[in-house]
Structure 1
C-alpha cells in the first residue's frame, strides 16, 4: 500500500506545472499548496484546486498565491474566497444550519445501514423447532399415513 501511495505522490504536485505559477519563496509556496488542498475546484467538484487541471482551478490557485503574497493569512484567504463563492468553495464547509445536511448525511447513512443490517439479521434468525407431537397427534398422523398407504395399494 505504501508503494501505491509513493507512486501517486508525484500526481498531487502535477497541477502547478508552470514555474511562473509557483511562488519564489518555498515556505509561501508550501502554504499556498496546503491552503489550495482545502479549496474545492468548482468545475471538478470533488477535487481541490491543487489537484485539478481545469482553467478555473488554475485561476483560483493564482488568486490564492496572490493573496498570500499580499500578506493575507490563511483565514483571510479562505474568508475572501468564501465571501466570493460561498460555502461550496470550501472542501470542509463550516458547520451551520444551511450545511447541516452535508454534515448529517454520513451519520444518517451509517444509522440507516446499521438498521438494515439489524433488520436483515432479525429476518434470518432461526425459528425454534416445532413442539413434539402429543399422543393424540401421533395417533392421528399414524391413521393418515395408513390411509395414504392403502390408497396407493400398499399394505400398512
Structure 2
C-alpha cells in the first residue's frame, strides 16, 4: 500500500512514459510488498509525478542535466512490510523501470528513498489504519497472520 512520488525535471517524462511507469512501479510495489492481485488491493498503490523547472536541482553544486536525468523517488509504505531483501529488490526494480523509460534520451541517475510510516501514523479516508488493517486491505501475502478475523 505505498504512495510513490516520482520527481523529475520538467519535460523528461511524457504523459505516455508516466502511464507506462505507473504500471511498472505498481508491479514493482506488488512484487516487493506482496500485495494481493485483486483490483481493489492494487488500487491502494498510488503513483504521483512531480516535475521541477530547469535549474531547480543541483548535484555537486552544478546542474546535472548536462550529464544525466536526475530522478528522485520517494516510497511511503507501512513500517514492517519490507525486509532488507525485498527493499533491495524493490529499489532495483524502480531504478530499472526509470532507466528503461528514459535511457534512449539520456543517461539516468536515480535516488530511491524509502519512508516507512510508523504503525498508526497512516490515515486513509479519515480513519487511522494500523498494520493489520493495511495487511487486510492490501492482501499482503506474508503478513496475513496479523489480520484479525
Q: Which has the higher strand share?
A: 2
Q: Which has the higher helix share?
A: 1
Which structure is higher in RCO with an 8 Å CA cutoff and minimum separation 6?
A: 2
What is the TM-score of this pair, normalised by structure 2? 0.26
